[in-house]
Structure 1
Amino acid sequence: MRIPTIDLSMHRSELSKHVVKACEEYGFFKVVNHSVPKNVILRMEEESAEFFAKPSSEKCQVGPATPFGYGCRNIGLNGDMGNLEYLLLHTNPLSIFEGSKTIANDANKFSCAVNDYIKAAREVAAEILDLVAEGLCVPDKFSLSKLITDFNSDSVFRINHYPPLKQKNQLSKHNNIGFGEHSDPQILTILRSNNVSGLQIYNRNGFWIPVTSDPNAFFVIVGDSLQVSF
């Protein structure tokens, strides 16, 4: 199965039709020619890598995630498994800065990198939601994007880190690393992957389809909240 690809440089009228079709038929698609600068992505990833490279004792001072902060735990066979670490942050810029004081050695550097990334990714998400509204002929085409453009929205930013396996090629159901089967409760998930594979989506025919990683693109997942709205 070929994953739908949305080229944001396409003509607007055609673009909205393609976005709606991808949402309806797949609930998942890849976005290319987006507006997020590479240097913004690189700075965020560098800051993230620096945090996860810290000793466990230092990282644990940022947790436990309740819900925001550092987490490293298993939540059952259908959830996080293995040595997955994550950092969950609210997307409010002031919240990011306050959290940065315990996350990074240089709070200003970390918060600027993360806030710049969130701002750019939020613009991509807002554009996609506007296209959905246009394609569905919603009277107020900004009605969906308004839900995420407010700094006080409940949007969150999550950074996942998967440490290398100690024993390669010896995977079992007890030491697989990653997320198990799940759906996302929010409106949209804007997902960036690096060159590590493993992502799969479940199609309407009942098959799990592997998704080829693409560090130059974003993957968009339609969340439960958007699905039930229409």
Structure 2
Amino acid sequence: MGSQTMPIPTIDLTLENSKPQSSSWVTTCNDVRLALEEHGWFVAKYDKLSPHLREVILSDVVELFKLPYETKIQNTSDKPAFGYVGKIAAIPLHEGLGIDRATDLGECQKFTKLMWPSGNDRFCENAQLYAKTVAELEQTVVRMLFESYGVEKHCESHLGATTYLLRFLNYRRPENDEANLAFVTHTDKSFISILHQNHVRGLELRNKDGEWIGFEPSPSSFLVLAGDACMAWSNNRVRPGYHRVVMKGNEARYALGLFSFRGGLIETPEELIDDEHPMQYKPFDHVGLLRFYDTVDVRERAKHTMTKAYCGV
């Protein structure tokens, strides 16, 4: 089924609307919850990332992918898909690198030293500032979601146990004999994912009716998606955000993704369990969920029932 252009819910999370004491706070909290329940995604209007940083970080991503393959594969991790990913038969147009705990300057420095042994302070500083700024957006979304469900008492412990993976993503244009599917249909295993990209179209979102909606990028657009961990935490109230990448033009698509992961066990709050919503998931380890998915073929991972197979009741 081809994609179509349809409106994607947009929620204003600029400073005035994201203050808990503001008159619009409760309404915006409900808007966030409803968007994630109905769609699994929404576009956030967010003004804390400066236009200058938006521009230079995307330029940095382009420079990063110009590095030799032998350099990029040094980005390794014991967590699945946290390090370098590329040259995979199922997704040959895709290449990605990652910084785990990217809000930590030391982790950004370690990654930068691997990629540029002689140093690249600008990249390091930009990457950490970007991660910290977008992490604030993720924390706002989480606070709003918890508050809308009436479980805000659990929020600070959740955020305190959360770390952030910053991934740099490249989708090259297909050659004449290649298919244009650059990334297969999937949901993220994160709690929340936030995507930001250059001007090149290609990202598509699947709605609850199975229709594909083309995402129209803009410099200030941040796409917020619920991951499988959020679905399980919410006892299936939140939909996981299904998406894929289909490349149709002659330009490469460059993007950044900030993915939140919870340390310790993720557990459904008792307030979200009742006769109408019996408990669906046992407490689970987030990295364990990642490793479980990693045992499954990449083309099968879109089946979110596998989360049920990992930690379902």
What is the TM-score normalised by the length of structure 1? 0.83
- Match among 221, 225, 229 for residue 225 of structure 2: 221
Say if 1:139 and 1:50 are closer, same or farther in 2 by CA, change over 3 A.
closer
- Which position in structure 1 is the counterpart of 2:21? none
Q: Which range is displaced more, 209-218 or 104-113?
A: 104-113
The answer to which structure has the higher strand fraction is: 2
Q: Does 1:199 align with 2:203?
A: yes
Equivalences for residues 167-186 of structure 1 within 5 A: 167=176, 174-186=178-190
- 1-side partners of 2:188 and 2:28: how far apart? 24
- Match among 69, 72, 81 for residue 86 of structure 2: 72
Q: Does 1:50 align with 2:59?
A: no
The offset of 1:142, in angstroms, is 2.5
Q: Which range is displaced more, 65-74 or 85-94?
A: 65-74
Once superposed, what is the RMSD of the aligned Cα atoms?
2.2
- Aligned 8 A contact 1:34 1:124 in 2: no
- Which position in structure 2 is the counterpart of 1:156? 165
SS at match of 1:209: strand
Instruction: Specify every segment of 5 or more residues in structure 1 that has no aligned partner in the other structure, as ranges.
Output: none
- Match among 119, 122, 142 for residue 109 of structure 1: 122
Q: How many residues align?
A: 216
- Which position in structure 1 is the counterpart of 2:92? 82
The offset of 1:66, in angstroms, is 5.1
The offset of 1:2, in angstroms, is 2.1
- Which position in structure 1 is the counterpart of 2:11? 6
- Which position in structure 1 is the counterpart of 2:155? 142
Say if 1:72 and 1:64 are closer, same or farther in 2 by CA, change over 3 A.
farther
CA offset digits 1:118-169 (Å, max 9, x no partner): 00010000001001111111141634xx54555xx443111111234444xx
- 2-side partners of 1:126 and 1:177: how far apart? 32
The offset of 1:37, in angstroms, is 1.7
Amino acid at match of 1:95: E
- Which position in structure 2 is the counterpart of 1:208? 212
The offset of 1:106, in angstroms, is 2.5
- Which position in structure 2 is the counterpart of 1:122? 135
- 1-side partners of 2:152 and 2:158: how far apart? 16
Amino acid at match of 2:201: S
Amino acid at match of 2:110: E
- 2-side partners of 1:95 and 1:161: how far apart? 21
Q: Which range is displaced more, 94-103 or 43-52?
A: 43-52
Say if 1:75 and 1:95 are closer, same or farther in 2 by CA, change over 3 A.
farther
- Which position in structure 1 is the counterpart of 2:40? 27
- Aligned 8 A contact 2:99 2:165 in 1: yes
Query: Which runs of 4 or more aligned residues in structure 1 lie more than 6 Å from their structure 2 counterparts after TM superposition?
Result: none
SS at match of 1:47: helix
Say if 1:139 and 1:156 are closer, same or farther in 2 by CA, change over 3 A.
closer
What is the TM-score normalised by the length of structure 2? 0.63
Amino acid at match of 2:164: S
Say if 1:34 and 1:142 are closer, same or farther in 2 by CA, change over 3 A.
farther
SS at match of 2:123: helix
Q: Which range is displaced more, 120-129 or 106-115?
A: 106-115
Amino acid at match of 1:87: L
Instruction: Specify every segment of 5 or more residues in structure 2 that has no aligned partner in the other structure, as ranges.
Output: 1-5, 18-23, 235-313
Amino acid at match of 1:162: Y
Say if 1:133 and 1:89 are closer, same or farther in 2 by CA, change over 3 A.
same
- Aligned 8 A contact 1:34 1:217 in 2: no
- Which position in structure 2 is the counterpart of 1:100? 112
